[in-house]
Amino acid sequence: MASSKTICVAGAGSIGCLIGGMLRAGGHQVSLLARPRVIDDINRNGLKVTSFEGVEHRLTSAEIRLSGDPAVLADAGIILVTVKSGDTAEMADLIARYAAKDTVIISLQNGIGNVAVLREALPDHDVLAGMVPFNVVSMGDGHFHRATSGDILLEKDDANTAKRLSQPELAFRAVDDISGVQWGKLLVNLNNALVALSGLPLREQLSQRSWRVLFADQWREALRVIKAEGIEPVSTTPLPASFTPLILKLPDFLFQRIAASMVKIDPKARSSMWEDLQRGRRTEIDHLQGVIVELAKRHGLSASLSTRIVALIRNAEQAGKDSPRLTPEQIRAVD
């Protein structure tokens, strides 16, 4: 159901442009608060959003409001925050300065601590946690492609915001335990770094058992640390989180049969961390494996694999040469 108020995507990168474009195609008034590079790209080429399911929408730059000026936040009834975790505090300050007090703020970010940052800075606003399960690939020339399946999950609220935003081609679903869902997504997102370090498309990477075993070992390490913190992650797939490492270690033909029934992955799918290395940007490694490392220190546990992966990603960031194209054996061998 379309709203008469504007939905502003604050920090529109790949995920934000895809969601904003789909919401606009569904009849909502949408604005994108974005960097000049994104604005220039859409002004030149329009905004094209597609999905692995065959959905395609083309929007002209006149059909969606583009701005680099945070004053655009003043017209929003809902603000979808899609900036990287390290930019959350800065975006919260801009929202506090420009947005109306009755504007609903929704975090659609990776990581665990962003909602707390937003709520502390915006005590007069309704701030909801959300989780985007799918992968979006920037194809260039204003084209953003949804490459995996899954519904956007939102914290349940009295206004039923999830239902207000949901549409056939972009489903939003309300859940009770959004914190558990976010921790479950963090476990899944641990593979982002492996995709970035491998240089492989997601589907090709997951088709190789050596990569899946590395992911499974990382998952087990993280699960042990998370449980020491007293957290029970909610799986983003039909399988309980504790079962996932077992499935990842299955022979290729069995894994592919089971995985195909749970998630659809386009051959184009990559991780956002891979894209960050390609573009020479800082990654969110501190908010993924970095969280596991810090929790492990708190509880006196080992997180050697996560520690190695953090170091490798930081080395790749400093090198500025996109993916180092490592093998699982090279990742495990780092001292």
pLDDT tens digit string along 183-225?
999 999 999 999 999 999 999 999 999 999 999 999 999 999 9
Residue 181 has pLDDT above 90, yes or no: yes
Residue 16 has pLDDT above 60, yes or no: yes
Mean pLDDT over 3-23 rounds to: 91
The residue with tokens 């640390």 is: 225
Burial class (CB in 10 A: 0-12, 13-18, 19+), 151: middle
Strand-pair partners of 78: 7, 104
Say if residue 242's pLDDT is above 70. yes
Confidence of residue 239 (pLDDT cuts 50, 70, 90): confident
DSSP code of residue 145: E
pTM (2 decimals)?
A: 0.89
| pLDDT (tens digit per residue) in 267-309 | 889 899 999 999 898 999 999 999 999 999 999 999 999 999 9
Q: What is the mean pLDDT of residues 158-185?
A: 94
**Stretch 41-63: mean pLDDT, rounded?**
95
**Residue given tokens 């498309």 in the structure block:** 201
Rounded Cα gap, residues 75 and 69, in angstroms: 12
Lowest-confidence segment of 48-52, 122-126, 260-264, 322-326 by average pLDDT: 260-264
Q: Report the chain's mean pLDDT, rounded to a whole number.
A: 94
Kindly indicate the confidence band of residue 106, based on its pLDDT and cuts at 50, 70 and 90.
very high
The domains located in the chain, with CATH, are 6-176 (3.40.50.720), 179-333 (1.10.1040.10)
Q: For residue 267, what pLDDT is reported?
A: 87
Average pLDDT over every residue of 2-9: 77
Answer whether 196's CB lies under 8 Å from 211's CB: no
CB burial of 6-24 (b: ≥16 within 10 Å; e: otherwise) equals: bbbbbbbbbbbbbbbbbbb
- Tell me the DSSP string of 207-229: TSHHHHHHHHHHHHHHHHHHHHT
Task: Supply the pLDDT for residue 1.
Answer: 40
Is pLDDT of 4 > 80? no
State the DSSP H helix or E strand holding residue 143, giving kind and residue range, or none if neither: strand 143-146
CB 22 within 8 A of CB 171: no
With beta carbons less than 8 A apart as the criterion, state whether 196 and 274 touch. Answer: yes
The C-alpha angle 276, 278, 282, rounded to 5 degrees, equals 30
Q: Which pLDDT score, from 0 to 100, does residue 321 have?
A: 87
What pLDDT is attached to residue 2? Answer: 45
Contacts (Cβ under 8 Å, ≥6 apart) of 304? 221
Amino acid 6 reads T
pLDDT at 73: 97
